[in-house]
Amino acid sequence: MELRRIDRLPPYVFTAVDEMKIAARRHGEDIIDLGMGNPDLPTPSPIVDKLVEAARHGRNHRYSASRGITKLRLALSDWYRRRFGVEIDPECEAVVTIGAKEGLAHLMWVLVRSGDTALVPEPTYPIHQFSAVFAGAEVNSVPLTPDTTDFFADLQEAYDRTWPRPRVILVSFPHNPTGHCVDLGFFERLVRFARENDVFIVHDFAYAEIVFDGYEPPSILQVPGAKDVAVEFISLSKSHSMPGWRIGFAAGNAEVIAGLQRLKSYLDYGVFQPIQIAAIIALNECDTVSRQVAQVYQRRRDVLCDGLTRVGWPVERPKGTMFVWAPIPGDYRELGSLEFSKLLLTEARVAVSPGVGFGRSGDGFVRFALVENEERIRQGVQGIKRAIECADGRRSRR
């Protein structure tokens, strides 16, 4: 049987490393797992307590509202005002999603179809590219590398080269996997461009709270007039350590939000209501928690980046996200990221994500996710040091 839609998906390279990791663990090996961006910190107790309390009430076991309960959309609106000075009308400019990932995938269904094109950075978090693919559209990639100095200019150039003109531009900063960050000026230019060229902007702001060294990440909705041309995604997965809960939001342009709400009303009955009720606590009462979570990731980032640099593998410290995007050291570059990741797993007992999984141009990199504690990260760096020394020794004996 020839399958539709998924036939445009490349083999999922993350699975190859994951399977090796599982096999190694089955053999009793201690693998430091910095592969998937799956937060290891527990959800704060006030949020868990609220879930438990709400789950005891039978009335919360029914189908919920697919666009999210009013009080939760109101809490999102309050959060935007407090955090960014942005006004969001909870009635018509916000929708609750089953995590940002689900929201992104379905949003593309209402924005593009066969014959349309979306502009997306590359490498990037896979659903950024594949949401447009699933919706039947073409994707044009805009390279995002450590050498990128003016991503807006690169976007503009890609736009000018594309015909028919792209209908959607998807961006996401702080960026997974590269850690690239932008300032408000970037979004001002992007919004102006979108208004002038009648193109729609989707901003995935999943790492809004995971930022370091005093960096203040801008929301695209801070730009006056952004709501005419943009929608932004917020996720509680990283900021509030709620990845398994599956809850996120889209906010912005009322017409597009209404489109997504309408589509979702045919697809789902909303997130389990006790989770939505607990998410109100997350948004209303846990600002300090998300700052503490960011500090944990910042300390882990420092341990990893300093450690790798010390053992002869210099890497840049990102200003945001929970990832370190590391160029494969020169001697190993020709292996490519998949083989190098396998080598790190077998020789250093460290699992990472091969850069090629985020797009072809990611092949010179691997991505470390900061999801083990500082001690375990130190242990991982020691493993890498030993693996590099062994490989160097083998090479010099040849």
Ligand X SMILES: Cc1ncc(COP(=O)(O)O)c(C=O)c1O
Chain residues binding ligand X by CB under 6 A are 37, 99-101, 125, 172, 176, 204, 206, 235, 237, 243, 248
Instruction: Decide the pairing of beta strands 168-171 and 117-122.
Output: parallel
Closer Cβ to ligand X, 176 or 337, answer by number: 176
Closer Cβ to ligand X, 188 or 204, answer by number: 204
For residue 100, the minimal CB distance to ligand X (Å) is 4
Closer Cβ to ligand X, 248 or 359, answer by number: 248
For residue 329, the minimal CB distance to ligand X (Å) is 25
> End-to-end CA distance of the chain, in Å?
50
For residue 346, the minimal CB distance to ligand X (Å) is 26
For residue 77, the minimal CB distance to ligand X (Å) is 19
For residue 298, the minimal CB distance to ligand X (Å) is 17
Closer Cβ to ligand X, 36 or 55, answer by number: 36
For residue 218, the minimal CB distance to ligand X (Å) is 16
For residue 380, the minimal CB distance to ligand X (Å) is 20
For residue 241, the minimal CB distance to ligand X (Å) is 11
The b-or-e profile of 366-382 (16+ CB within 10 A means b, else e) is bbbbbbbeeebbbbbbb
**Beta strands across the sheet bearing 117-122:** 94-97, 248-252, 230-235, 200-204, 168-171, 117-122, 138-143
Closer Cβ to ligand X, 44 or 99, answer by number: 99
Closer Cβ to ligand X, 77 or 176, answer by number: 176
Closer Cβ to ligand X, 40 or 339, answer by number: 40
Closer Cβ to ligand X, 100 or 294, answer by number: 100
For residue 274, the minimal CB distance to ligand X (Å) is 18
Q: What distance in Å separates the CA atoms of residue 346 and residue 349, rounded to the nearest whole number?
A: 6
* 3-class secondary structure per residue, the chain: CCCCCHHHCCCCHHHHHHHHHHHHHHCCCCCEECCCCCCCCCCCHHHHHHHHHHHCCHHHHCCCCCCCCHHHHHHHHHHHHHHHCCCCCCCCCEEEECHHHHHHHHHHHHHCCCCCEEEEEECCCHHHHHHHHHCCCEEEEEECCCCCCCHHHHHHHHHHHCCCCCCEEEECCCCCCCCCCCCHHHHHHHHHHHHHHCCEEEEECCCCCCECCCCCCCCHHHCCCHHHCEEEEEEHHHHCCCHHHCCEEEEECHHHHHHHHHHHHHHCCCCCHHHHHHHHHHHHHCHHHHHHHHHHHHHHHHHHHHHHHHCCCCCCCCCECCEEEEECCHHHHHHHHHHHHHHHHHHHCEECEEHHHHCHHHCCEEEEECCCCHHHHHHHHHHHHHHHHHHHHHHHHC
Closer Cβ to ligand X, 185 or 244, answer by number: 244
**Position with the least CB separation from ligand X:** 99
Closer Cβ to ligand X, 74 or 202, answer by number: 202
For residue 83, the minimal CB distance to ligand X (Å) is 17
